Amino acid sequence: MPPHLDEYFWATEVAPQQMDALWAQGWRHFGAYFFRYGRLQNHTVLPLRVRLANFGLSQSQRRVLKKNRDLVFRLQPAFVNPDVEALFERHKARFSHSVPEHIYNFVSRRPAHIPCRCHSLTLHHQGRLVGISYLDEGAQATSSVYQCFDPAYARRSLGILMILLSIRFSLEWGKVFYYPGYAYREPSEYDYKKRLGALEYFDWKGNWLNYEEGLAKPQPLHTKYSSDGV
């Protein structure tokens, strides 16, 4: 069992090497607010990361990439504009509880710089913004902060697509790890993260362990949605 820790702090400027160290100890952040906790509402929190040198695409992930070849993706310094805010409003309509007020629950008003270098990965279909993911960059690692997509495109698995594209960029930048965010040991709507290859989990004792060897089990379908970040 993980400790019943519930820790947080605020920081507006964190060096790349410090970001790596924080992610490696199970920390996440929304804007300048950093947090980590071992349990949440009867769920055991499971920090995850991908060891990029060992990552390979599965057949289902290849299908996701093929299905979305008509989309245009762009990477630029992280931003929020009216199109992003409108996309967020459409995205949050999917949630039945813990509905956030606005996207600034997850990113700062200066998302490209606070608390570290951050990128916006955007997806466009026929000129329309249909997905955005915020990707932090440290010295040796990257980490997804938050992503949202147009519910009208739900069948395209855009959440998985943005993770796969984030991994692609992380590899191109020569990073060692990619952090997709928390999942839970118990079945939840975050189980799609557990299907990533070369996956490791944090045991809350300071160790990162191979997920396939330690925790991988068939997971039942789960259809409830919450509005938490990735």
Sheet holding 33-37, edge to edge: 6-10, 33-37, 28-30
Q: What is the pLDDT of residues 75-96, one digit of tens each?
A: 999 999 999 999 999 998 877 6
The tally of CA atoms less than 13 A away on the side-chain side of residue 133 is: 25
The pLDDT of residue 1: 46
Q: What is the pTM of this model?
A: 0.91
Is-contact 60 26, C-beta < 8 A?
no
Averaged pLDDT for residues 164-169: 98
The pLDDT of residue 220: 43
The residue ranges of every structural domain in the chain are 19-39+51-214
CATH number assigned to the domain covering 19-39+51-214: 3.40.630
Cα–Cα distance measured from residue 18 to residue 22, given in angstroms and rounded to the nearest whole number: 6
Is-contact 99 227, C-beta < 8 A?
yes
Q: How much of the chain exceeds pLDDT 90, in percent?
A: 82
Which residues does 71 contact at the CB level (< 8 Å), separation at least 6?
A: 123, 124, 125, 130, 161
The pLDDT of residue 137: 98
- Per the model's pLDDT, the better-predicted residue between 217 and 60 turns out to be 60
Average pLDDT, the chain: 91
- pLDDT band for position 229 (cuts 50, 70, 90): low
